């Protein structure tokens, strides 16, 4: 009987082992590639836009990650970020059904791999005083010999890592230049100047756009529809557009087209009302532009007769020869703090200059629309009627009656949502009543002067060529906005995401608290020093000239008291630092105990409880059979 039980037990174990192996093989086949992302910010979960871009790949794309593995042995931050980049690329490759092929290369100095990295336009960045350089860039090629690259993968741009890689893949997948339609009420492009009857130079921003995109002029006169071959429509200073022209823009947007629109309450380069025989009429001419019907339908509030002032960002301008520059509250130098660093359009910009700009607000009646600021003023801004800037002699007069709104004004923004038509009464063939895409994309800018050369670039002739020296990021903003809007809807939908960096927030809070106490004690010491110096000076002034170089008993006592108190305060400062170190050490010890002892103990207790429950269950089963 004992032998039979042992045999049965051995057979049961063998059967269980076979079943376990079979189940593992079945799970391996059935759930191949299945993953669960348990990170707090879902770092390894690709966005829907990226998944759609990967799914749309027709021909294989080769991605080559160049990383100087040996050259970064002493650069832990770069190596940690490399792991993040490598894992994301592997995730994309695993989701591509073999359409993305990933290769990782360590380009050693003076090797063919280094030459290959350089040929892709990757940058070797110096990392030491000895001149050591490392590569950390991504290059991609497609089946038609097209190539694209990210010269250097910067750790501080981790929030846009997924977007940058998806953009590179999208560029390799789409070989033609995006087609951009330009409908402009300002002389942006090169052409004949009717006033001087001479050829005028294109604005610097138009020259940059023309290098990257297939730019096509759209004439507003008799405009009925936007050409279907246009990917992005850029509208600049739409002054008195006809209903037909606005309807054409309306249908373009509802049909899935992307729009970049620049309006202005006071376009300084608008010469449409210029009259050489009547300078006063020229100065008083209306220079505002608007898209009233479209803005109303899209849930946007914009007043074409209001200009933003911001005394905190006012730029100095010259008001006359021999006179000191005066700050102009309507000409603004906006800084990093005024830009949205969570949007790819403005993420890496430092400064943008605007002049007599307007502002946008989301209407209270807006339902599906969302307005995300890209550029905004400080909270010390206000708005005034644009008439106040006509024939303005002294910019400082704009500060009269200045009342801050206590909230920033949005100068440029991204508008998203499911848009409704502004012309529901139109019954044209194929007329759309709402946008096909639930996530329509529009970028709005309430200033056209932002594009003008004078606000961001100096152009100088150099041996027959024009050299551009940019002093602000206006051009980068215009290029980034158009580049972003020229991508597919899937690419535009990819947003900046959380980084893999996990700060020690509790430790940082402890340090801030200690710093506050430290500064308080330092201020107390400084106050004591000032009081002592004052008392010593008073006592010194009461002495005769012969005793000026000799400390009196009162002075000596006062000085001794100060030195004694100074030692006490310095001791307290050391105690503050010591307590901080002790608190951090205690926190570290608690974490170590939690990770090393408590968690294994909990797992062990759970296992023992499960074993006890099984033994109890077996005993109850035997008692029932007996």
Q: Residue 472: its pLDDT value, please? A: 94
Extract the tokens encoding 421.
Answer: 């038509």
Model pLDDT, residue 422: 95
Q: Is the pLDDT of residue 473 over 80?
A: yes
Q: Which CATH class is domain 48-172?
A: alpha beta
> Cα separation of 17 and 96, whole Å?
36
For the chain, the average pLDDT equals 82
pLDDT for 44 beyond 50: yes
**Confidence check: pLDDT of 500 > 50:** no
pLDDT of residue 175: 73
Other C-beta atoms lying within 10 Å of the C-beta of residue 345: 23
Average pLDDT value for residue range 143-171: 88
What integer is the mean pLDDT of 107-116? Answer: 92
Distances (CA, A) of 461 to 48, 232, 456, 468, 469: 48, 32, 17, 9, 11
Provide the pLDDT for residue 449: 97
d(CA 157, CA 500): 12
65 within 8 A of 103, measured Cβ to Cβ: yes
User: Residue 363: what pLDDT?
Assistant: 93
- Residue 490's pLDDT band (boundaries 50, 70, 90)? confident
Query: Is residue 335 scored above 80 in pLDDT?
Result: yes
User: CA angle, corner 9, sides to 7 and 15, nearest 5?
Assistant: 100
**Is 90 exceeded by the pLDDT of residue 283?**
no
Task: Kindly tell me the sign of the dihedral angle through the C-alpha atoms of 568, 573, 579, 582.
Answer: negative
pLDDT-above-90 percentage for the chain? 44
Question: Which residues in 318-358 belong to E strands, given as ranges?
Answer: 326-334, 352-355
Backbone angles phi, psi at 531, to 5 degrees: -65, -40
- At residue 498, does pLDDT exceed 50? no
Q: Which of 43-47, 158-162, 256-260 ranks highest by mean pLDDT?
A: 256-260
Query: According to the model, what pLDDT value does residue 177 have?
Result: 85
* Span 244-273, average pLDDT: 92
Confidence band for 571, pLDDT divided at 50, 70 and 90: low
Q: What is the pLDDT of residue 452?
A: 95
Q: What band does 550 get if pLDDT is binned at 50, 70 and 90? A: low
Domain ranges of the chain: 1-34, 48-172, 181-272+285-303+358-377+407-492, 509-542+554-611
Closest CA to 451 of 206, 183, 178, 261: 206
570, pLDDT greater than 70: no
CA dist list (Å): 356 to 157, 442, 448, 496, 567 = 32, 22, 9, 31, 58
| Res 275: pLDDT | 59
Is residue 580 over pLDDT 70? no
pLDDT attached to residue 163 = 86
Q: Which comes out higher in pLDDT, residue 36 or 488? A: 488
Task: List, for residues 343-360, the tens digit of each pLDDT value.
Answer: 989 988 999 999 999 999
- The pLDDT tens digits for 210-227 are 988 999 999 999 899 999
**pLDDT tens for each residue of 521-534:** 656 666 766 666 66
Q: Does residue 512 register a pLDDT over 90? A: no
Asked whether the beta carbons of 482 and 210 are under 8 A apart, the reply is no
The answer to whether 47 and 493 have CB atoms below 8 angstroms apart is yes
How far apart CA 329 and CA 356 sit, in angstroms, is 9
Cβ contact 495:160 at 8 Å: no
Predicted confidence at residue 271, as pLDDT, reads 79
Average pLDDT over residues 360-364: 94
Label residue 535 by pLDDT band (50, 70, 90).
Answer: low
Position 446 scores a pLDDT of: 97
Map residue 126 onto helix, strand or coil. Answer: strand
Indicate if the pLDDT at residue 6 is higher than 60. no
Q: How far is CA 412 from CA 246, 264, 330, 375, 444, in A?
A: 20, 11, 16, 5, 6
Work out the pLDDT band at 510, boundaries 50, 70, 90. low
């Amino acid at each position: 009987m004992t032998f039979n039980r042992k045999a049965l037990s051995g057979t049961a174990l063998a059967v269980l082992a076979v079943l376990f192996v079979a189940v593992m093989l079945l799970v391996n086949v059935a759930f191949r590639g299945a993953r669960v992302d348990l990170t707090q910010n879902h770092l390894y979960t690709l966005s829907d836009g990226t998944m759609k871009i990967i799914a749309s790949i027709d021909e294989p794309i080769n991605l080559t990650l160049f990383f100087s593995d040996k050259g970064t042995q002493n650069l832990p931050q770069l190596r940690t970020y490399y792991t993040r980049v490598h894992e994301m690329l592997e995730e994309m490759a695993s989701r591509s059904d073999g359409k993305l092929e990933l290769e990782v290369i360590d380009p050693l100095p003076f090797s063919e791999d280094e030459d290959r990295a350089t040929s892709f336009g990757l940058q070797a960045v110096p990392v030491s005083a000895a001149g050591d350089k490392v590569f950390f860039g991504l290059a991609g090629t497609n089946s038609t010999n097209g190539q694209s690259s990210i010269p250097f993968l910067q750790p501080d741009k981790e929030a846009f890592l997924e977007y940058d890689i998806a953009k590179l893949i999208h560029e390799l997948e789409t070989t033609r230049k995006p087609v951009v339609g330009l409908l402009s009420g300002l002389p942006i492009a090169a052409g004949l100047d009717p006033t001087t009857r001479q050829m005028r130079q294109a604005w610097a921003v138009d020259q940059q756009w023309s290098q990257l995109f297939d730019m096509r002029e759209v004439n507003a006169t008799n405009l009925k529809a936007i050409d279907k071959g246009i990917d992005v429509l850029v509208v600049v200073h739409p002054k008195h557009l006809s209903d037909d022209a606005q309807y054409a823009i309306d249908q373009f947007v509802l049909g899935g087209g992307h729009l970049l629109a620049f309006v202005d309450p006071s376009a300084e380069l608008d010469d449409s009302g210029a009259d050489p025989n009547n300078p006063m009429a020229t100065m008083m001419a209306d220079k505002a532009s608007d898209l009233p019907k479209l803005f109303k339908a899209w849930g946007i509030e914009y007043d074409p007769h209001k200009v933003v002032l911001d005394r905190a960002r006012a730029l100095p301008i010259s008001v006359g020869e021999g006179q000191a520059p005066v700050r102009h509250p309507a000409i603004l130098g906006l800084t990093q703090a005024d830009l949205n660093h969570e949007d790819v359009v403005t993420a890496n910009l430092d400064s943008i200059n605007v002049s007599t700009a307007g502002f946008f607000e989301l209407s209270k009646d807006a339902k599906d629309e969302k307005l995300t600021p890209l550029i905004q003023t400080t909270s010390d801004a206000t708005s005034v009627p644009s008439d106040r800037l006509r024939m303005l002699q002294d910019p400082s007069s704009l500060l009269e009656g200045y009342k801050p709104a206590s909230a920033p004004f949005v100068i440029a923004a991204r508008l998203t949502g499911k848009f409704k038509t502004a012309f529901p009464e139109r019954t044209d063939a194929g007329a759309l009543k709402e946008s096909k895409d639930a996530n329509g994309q529009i970028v709005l800018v309430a200033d056209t002067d932002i594009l003008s050369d004078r606000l961001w670039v100096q152009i100088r002739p150099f041996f027959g060529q024009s050299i551009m020296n940019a002093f602000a990021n206006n051009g980068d903003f215009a290029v980034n906005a158009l580049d972003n809007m020229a991508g597919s809807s899937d690419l535009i939908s990819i947003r900046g995401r959380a980084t893999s960096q996990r700060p020690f927030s509790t430790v940082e809070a402890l340090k801030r608290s200690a710093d506050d106490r430290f500064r308080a004690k330092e201020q107390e010491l400084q106050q004591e020093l000032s009081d002592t110096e004052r008392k010593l000076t008073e006592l010194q002034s009461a002495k005769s000239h012969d005793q000026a170089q000799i400390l009196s008993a009162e002075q000596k006592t006062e000085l001794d008291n100060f030195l004694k108190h100074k030692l006490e305060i310095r001791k307290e400062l050391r105690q503050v630092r010591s307590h901080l170190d002790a608190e951090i050490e205690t926190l570290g010890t608690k974490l170590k105990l939690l990770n090393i002892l408590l968690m294994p103990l909990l797992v062990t207790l759970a296992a023992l409880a499960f074993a006890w429950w099984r033994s109890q269950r077996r005993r109850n089963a035997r008692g029932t059979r007996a």
